[in-house]
Amino acid sequence: MRRAVPLAYIARNLWVRRVTTALTAGGMALVIFVFATVLMMTEGIRATLVATGQPDNVVVLRKGSNAEITSTIGREQAGIIESLPGIATDAAGQPLVSREPVVLNSLVKRNGKPGNVTLRGTSATGLALRPQVHIVEGRFFRPGSAEIVVGRAVARGYDGVAPGSTLRFAGRDWTVVGILDAGKTGFDSEIWGDSEQLMQAFRRLAYSSVIFRLAEPSSFEAVRARLEDDPRLTLEAKPEIRFYAEQSEQLANFISILGTALALIFSTGAIVGAAITMFGAVASRVGEIGTLRALGFRREAVLVAFLGESLLLAFVGGVFGLAAASLMQFVDVSTTNFATFSELAFQFRLTPVIGAKAIAFALAMGLIGGFVPAWRAARLKIVDCLRAA
Amino acid sequence: MFLLRLLLKNAFRHRLRTLLTIVGLMVAVCAFGLLRTIVDAWYAGANASSSTRLVVRSATSLTVPLPLAYAERLRAVDGVTAVSWSNWFGGVYVTERNFFPQFAVDGASYLPLYPEFVVADAERTAWLRDRRGVLVGRTLAAKYGWKVGDTVPLRGTIYSGTWNFTIRGIYQGADAGVDQNQMLMHWGYVNEIQRQRFPGRGDSVGVFVVGIRDPNDAALVGQRIDTMFRNSLAETLTETEKAFQLGFVSMSEAILVALQAVSLIVIVIIMAVMANTMAMTARERLAEYATLKALGFPPEFVVKLLFGESLLIAVIGGVLGVLVTLPLASAFANAVGTLFPVFRVAPETIALQLLAALAVGVAAAAWPAWRSSRIDIVDGLRHVA
């Protein structure tokens, strides 16, 4: 008789030992929760920063500096960049180039702790270069004035940053005139003001970066070569998408290494838990195993039955852990990005890949924890079993 | 004596299960200890700070420099005994992965302010004499195999170009809490090159470090400094070195909170595993406990048996966990390298690990013990495991 033990029988066994099942599955759920949350955090940081870049935009920085705050581009260099061929123009025929000074400004968060907010000098062209950014409240700043607009995450996370209020920095008072929504990208964590006004206030002689749009996205290599071969310039150009992706790398890697290490350590605990539960299940059902075998179920069927029980246990734990982790999507978090030294607001992000990975991880724990007990159950001799019962 | 023998026999009746439980506990206790050590390492900078030093930085943010001319004015402030300054150099050694902090400092005034950096007199003089010389920490030198006299090339991210520095001295910390991963170069040299390359820039200072006479006056002196520069071109923010360092810690607060939450979750996981084992033990032995009661043993005896067994397993697991933590922590410190300058398992961490193991042992036995002590003799005898 080559029959498998029915699934209902397997499931009912778990139900009979409810308390033990709940404790074991609970331990696994916690491990999966940690595992999934970490992956979601890494994914959230990546998604936020990658979405910040536009495919046909190019960022120019000083050679060797990886972030805008450490880069400097003089006015004459910016002029040379502006005269490059291949830059897109707007409806009025003006080249789509934005010269931007970037400064970090320390503000007080709602929880009383200081945070570094990126202060970006830009212009109407800078806004046009980022189609994902919209003004949702108030209006854009007037050129040549001490007005600023703040990102949505800044308005939410920091004290006294609302339309109509003033911020004091660089010896001046700046009026907040609007809130910008950047569609959950990095610009949500920034404050924007007029380029020239900020340069004057901070007594800077150089911009931090120059951003322009390519007329033809495929012409990037030609533009880059022209820019980097120019002996007057010590600059480097990067597609905006790659620039922001690189900024997410360090933090995302750190979190994913730390998180994976933790999940692996915990999983040892959960596997041990599963193994104890399954050994217990085998020990208390020796008689039953004997009966099953006597009825004609083969060793393999018994092995599969116990392994199935362990996998089902792990699956239940995995589903609960993942469900708890999916609630984290409603939590807003912000942390300092080491690469830019500034605050970055982001959200936990659950993707199908993460879901699949979490469930696979849970099943792997169940498999490892359940294999030896199931093997032992399958190896028992019928006579011994029946005698023990 | 009889109780102890019974306990030992009971605990190891299911050898495999007990062994697995001990392993689970060991892993969890060890993970808990490691996590706490990581969190401690984050705060190491703040704990090693001196109460007689203030840090003066731009009110805007740390990345905005202050003019060098402030040094003279700071010296004149009442209560200030010494003034020095430093800039974050931010160079890359070979690749970005080899991160370690580098500061361009005014050597002659910096070392007296930091007595915890211990340097041999000859090396100190050699460093002060060589404008391209650097002082490196002992841990850092050991990591890359540097010796006095070696040349270290750094690729500048803030100060562009390639810089070649010569190691003139190796410092060590006066105690275990001192960061031995830093590299100190001469601010004067960096500034001079910067001025040659970019005329009109330079003479800028990242932070001023101010020594004060009386730690109790820290707030007052800080206030005097900030008032002096209010409404000037570069307003300042003065705080104690500890507050300054804690500012860095709070930047990665989200990660720290997550780590602390996770170390609590670890304890919950061990509890689940342990409680599970004890619940199974109690269920299997209901008939036995009923027999003991029928023989005339009071209910407390059964309770003692269960608690004793649970505690015995917990203590074994806890002690093994602590023993495993120590070598693992040093392996981890080697793996992350210079990311955490100070990484050691604190005595409080070990105490907390043992305490956590004990708490788990008690908590795991509570519910089964309560149930078994209340079991009706007849029900218990009828019960088949």
Mean pLDDT of B103-108: 94
The mean pLDDT value for A123-146 works out to: 94
- Total count of residues recorded for chain B: 385
Percentage above 90 pLDDT, chain A: 48
Check CB contact of A315 with chain B, cutoff 8 Å.
Answer: no
Contacts with B125 (C-beta within 8 Å, 6 or more apart), sequence order: none
Q: Is the minimum CB–CB distance between B264 and chain A shorter than 8 Å?
A: no
* Interface size, chain A vs chain B, as Cβ–Cβ contacts under 8 Å: 149
Helix (H), strand (E) at residue A377: helix A352-379
Q: Do B61 and A203 touch (CB under 8 A)?
A: no
Which pLDDT band, with edges at 50, 70 and 90, does B384 fall under?
Answer: low
Q: Which residues fall within 8 angstroms of residue B38, CB to CB, at 6 or more apart?
A: B259, B340
Kindly tell me if the per-residue pLDDT of A108 is higher than 90: no
- A147-151 and A172-181 as β-strands: parallel, antiparallel, unpaired? parallel
Residue-wise pLDDT tens digits, B152-201:
999 988 888 899 999 999 999 988 888 899 999 999 999 999 888 877 67
Nearest to A62 among B63, B160, B231 (CB): B160
Q: What is the DSSP string of B287-341?
A: HHHHHHHHTT--HHHHHHHHHHHHHHHHHHHHHHHHHHHHHHHHHHHHHHGGGSS
Axis-axis angle for helices A299-327, A7-16 (nearest 10): 60
Return the pLDDT at A389.
61
Is the pLDDT higher at B73 or at B375?
Answer: B73
Q: How confident is the model at residue B8 (pLDDT cuts 50, 70, 90)?
A: confident
Q: Are B205 and B103 in contact (CB under 8 A)?
A: no
| Amino acid B269: pLDDT | 73
pLDDT score, position A320: 96
Q: How confident is the model at residue A27 (pLDDT cuts 50, 70, 90)?
A: confident
Largest CA distance in chain A: 94
Which chain B positions have a beta carbon within 8 Å of A258's beta carbon?
255
Looking at residue B271, its pLDDT comes to 72
Ranges A116-120, B240-244, B274-278: which has the least confidence: B274-278
Average of per-residue pLDDT values in chain A = 89
- HSE (CB half, 13 Å, CA atoms) of B362? 6
Confidence of residue B338 (pLDDT cuts 50, 70, 90): low
Q: Which of A23-32, B100-109, B241-250, B332-341 has the lowest mean pLDDT?
A: B332-341
Cβ pair B20:A105 closer than 8 A = no
User: Measured between CB atoms, does B254 come within 8 Å of chain A?
Assistant: yes
B177 at interface of A, judged by CB pairs closer than 8 A: no
Interchain CB contact of B267 with A (< 8 Å):
no
Q: Where are the alpha helices (DSSP H) in chain B?
A: 2-11, 15-42, 44-47, 70-75, 107-113, 121-129, 138-144, 187-197, 218-228, 241-251, 253-284, 286-294, 299-336, 347-373, 377-382
Q: Which amino acid is at B46?
A: A
Say what the ipTM of the complex is: 0.73
Range A161-185 average pLDDT: 90
% of chain A with per-residue pLDDT over 70:
99
Query: Is the CB of residue B20 less than 8 Å from the CB of residue B325?
Result: no
Average pLDDT over residues B268-287: 77
pLDDT at B104: 95
Residue B132 pLDDT exceeds 60: yes
The amino acid at residue B89 is F
Q: Is the pLDDT of residue B339 over 70?
A: no
CB B9: neighbour CB atoms within 10 A?
A: 10
Q: Tell me: the pLDDT tens digits for B226-274?
A: 999 988 878 899 999 988 888 888 777 777 887 788 778 777 777 777 7
Both tokens of residue B290?
């009923």
Round to whole Å and give the CA distance between B327 and B329. Answer: 5
Strand partners, A172: A169
As a whole number, mean pLDDT of residues A20-26 equals 86
List the one residue out of A159, A152, A153, A125 whose CA is nearest residue A136.
A152
Sign of the alpha-carbon dihedral angle for B260, B263, B267, B273: positive
B131 pLDDT higher than 60: yes
If you measure CA to CA, which chain A residue comes closest to B264?
Answer: A30
What residue of B is the nearest CA neighbor of A41?
B255
Q: What average pLDDT does the segment B280-297 reach?
A: 83
In this prediction, residues B293-317 reach a mean pLDDT of 88
> What is the average pLDDT across B125-141?
94
Give the residue from chain A lying closest to B21, CA to CA.
Answer: A272
Provide the 3-class DSSP secondary structure of residue B173: strand
In this predicted structure, the answer to whether residue B137 has a pLDDT above a threshold of 90 is yes
Closest to B61 (Cα-Cα) out of A340, A254, A345: A340
Looking at mean pLDDT, say which of A321-325, B31-35, B203-207, B355-359 comes out highest.
A321-325
* Interchain contact, A169 vs B59, CB within 8 Å: yes
A93: left (phi over 0), alpha (psi -120 to 50) or beta: left
Confidence (pLDDT) at A313 = 93
Contact A358, A36 (CB under 8 A): yes
Give burial (CB, 10 Å; 0-12/13-18/19+) of B337: middle
Residue B383: predicted pLDDT: 66
Return phi, psi of residue A88, to 5°. -70, 155
Mean of per-residue pLDDT scores for chain B = 87
Q: How far apart are CA B350 and CA B363, in angstroms?
A: 20
pLDDT of residue A2: 63
Per-residue model confidence as pLDDT tens digits over B350-365: 999 999 899 888 988 8
Q: How large is the average pLDDT for residues A354-376? A: 94
| Confidence bin at B330 (pLDDT 50/70/90) | confident
